Chains A and B, each alone.
Chain A
Amino acid sequence: MIINGVLIDETFAEAFGVRGTRIIITAQNQKWANIAAASITGFATSVIGCGVEAGIEREIDPSETPDGRPGVSVLMFAMSSAVLMKQLETRLGQCVLTCPTTAAFSGIYGDPETVTRINLGKNLRFFGDGFQISKQFGGKRYWRVPVMDGEFLVEETTGMVRAVGGGNFLILAESQPQALAACEAAIEAMKKLPNVIMPFPGGVVRSGSKVGSKYKALIASTNDAFCPTLKGATKSELSPEIGSVMEIVIDGLTDVDIRAATKAGIAAACALGSDNGIKRISAGNYGGKLGQFHFHLREIMA
């Protein structure tokens, strides 16, 4: 399959079942909602070293938020519910409670069959040292925690769902600037879609990894088959004209969301085309034996 001169590999991305949640952060203005969101999603690029993968899903207009103020929705994913719950409470307490004028609300509701309620402000309320106030309204419980700038309003719980982590595709280009330009175009297109985040810096991974290492202590190491400087030194997957490879990793609430994001991203990259140095799109997998979800590139782009 070739799109605008770009070869789409006959391969698939292998992704895993994870746990995901969404929260809504509001503040006095969009600037401070964004600051809080950037803070809570910081150091959350990979579950391997950060515990969670998190990112900003979108900005939210005041007309859509529970308190009528500008907001941001944040998605967070982890390999287990225990890790997700712990990380959520810790990050909320350290990064949102501390941020001026913020409030935090649940971003997921639904059938108890598919949505589990997990703590959001339930334990954070104790920061109020007995002065906190509970308000039950509309079937929800909120906590008002007195703080120095006024009051921190937080909903008691948010929803956790089974989600999908590790969707991906690789952009193979003639040069580093060209690979980056294609990734930027892809991320811009993907950010318009709901229910997905691309957790790495700017949404892009420059250091895609493989499982295992010659060093026993490491569980992952550089994906040497896709490193352009190692074409002569290892069994390479790269043809002579490829000078740089970058990867986009996608986490989403459902496999349908990841499919949509993958399609939008690859289409945007291919729109630049081989005339702009974009030669090939590939994906990372583990032979199909580990992950429950397989995203076949050619099937998605058909």
Chain B
Amino acid sequence: MKLSLHTLPQVPLEAETISPSLLLGKSPSEVEALPVFHGNNEMKLGDFFSVAPQSNNDTIEVEGDLSKVKLLGNAMSSGRLVIHGNVGAHLGAAMSGGEIIVEGNAADWAGREMSGGRIVIKGNAGHMLGSAVRGAAVGMLGGEIFVHGSAGNEIGHGMRRGLIAIGKDSGDFTGVNMRAGTIFVLGHLGQRPGAGLRRGTIVSMEGAELLPTFTYDCIYRPTFLTPYMLHLRKTGFDITDEVISGSYERWSGDSIELNRGEILLYVN
């Protein structure tokens, strides 16, 4: 099924009905009749999108300038959602399965509190990638988020499980309040990474300035990284043989928390 934006929303459009779990199996007219919120006005999906059937049985494609369209793939549990272009906030929020592919950039809160499935963003992502909502202690519970560009602040805030990989740079407070899980940043790590880290792993391919509550352990070769790196390489990240077999500085922290977390910095 293909949804094409024919009318640009003037204010954010909440389109959580655009999810494979909700659309697959429905006819175009049924899909067009689904509710969306344009600001605080309830309207129909067909007021903004035209719907055409396609041969892919498990894939929903969406095209157009979706930078003001929010909550695509919200709570999806299966199927594929392919977005041709940029997309608005809360992409794939609370998803538990399936796959979302964004050909362009994603706004803030992508993968918010997801527990399974995979999000691939070929461009950049905003802030709060894979994070908890404000006030929640626990965020992402599983799944994978791959951003081939850069991402903003507070990546993986409160992360409990799962994998996030950033192909370029990350913003500040990467992995803040992280409880477990793994975050890779192949470019430059922003300021104050791992603040409040309880457990979990943050890996950076470049050196970084760390908080004074992190303690240097050693330089060693973490063999557990290889399966991750090979997986990232297969999914399109530029992972060299040197970083796979290389050595890393290990820093334990955050000592103001449980101090069982780690930041690994590649030693070139």
Dominant secondary structure of chain A at its interface with chain B: strand
Known: A134-B180, A137-B163. A66 touches B222 (CB 8 A): no
Which chain B residue shows the least CB distance to A68? B226
Give A137 to B244 CA distance when docked, in angstroms. 17
B161 CB → nearest A CB, Å? 6
- Is B245 part of the binding interface, using a Cβ–Cβ cutoff of 8 Å? yes
As a 0/1 sequence over residues 65 to 85 of chain A, the CB contacts with chain B under 8 angstroms (1 = contact) are 011110000000000000000
Contact of A135 among B142, B221, B224 (CB under 8 A): B224
Give A136 to B161 CA distance when docked, in angstroms. 8
Known: A68-B244, A150-B221. A131 touches B227 (CB 8 A): no
B122 CB → nearest A CB, Å? 22
13 contacts between A and B (CB under 8 A): A67-B223, A67-B224, A68-B226, A68-B245, A131-B260, A133-B260, A135-B182, A135-B224, A138-B231, A150-B220, A151-B222, A151-B223, A151-B224
As a 0/1 sequence over residues 203 to 241 of chain B, the CB contacts with chain A under 8 angstroms (1 = contact) are 000000000000000001111101110110000000000
Dominant secondary structure of chain B at its interface with chain A: mixed
- Is A103 part of the binding interface, using a Cβ–Cβ cutoff of 8 Å? yes
- Is B199 part of the binding interface, using a Cβ–Cβ cutoff of 8 Å? yes
State which residues 124-148 of A face B: CB under 8 Å: 131, 133-138, 142, 144
A134 CB contacts on chain B under 8 angstroms: 180
- Is A23 part of the binding interface, using a Cβ–Cβ cutoff of 8 Å? no
Give A131 to B260 CA distance when docked, in angstroms. 7
B102 CB → nearest A CB, Å? 23
B203 CB → nearest A CB, Å? 12
A71 CB → nearest B CB, Å? 11
Give A103 to B225 CA distance when docked, in angstroms. 13
A142 CB contacts on chain B under 8 angstroms: 224
Known: A68-B244, A68-B245, A131-B260. A137 touches B227 (CB 8 A): yes
Which chain B residue shows the least CB distance to A105? B227
B230 CB contacts on chain A under 8 angstroms: 68
A139 CB → nearest B CB, Å? 11
A175 CB → nearest B CB, Å? 50
Which chain B residue shows the least CB distance to A152? B223
As a 0/1 sequence over residues 157 to 174 of chain A, the CB contacts with chain B under 8 angstroms (1 = contact) are 000000000000000000
Give A135 to B163 CA distance when docked, in angstroms. 10
Additional A-B contacts beyond A26-B223, A131-B260, A153-B223 (9; CB < 8 A): A66-B227, A67-B226, A68-B226, A133-B260, A134-B180, A135-B224, A137-B182, A151-B222, A153-B224
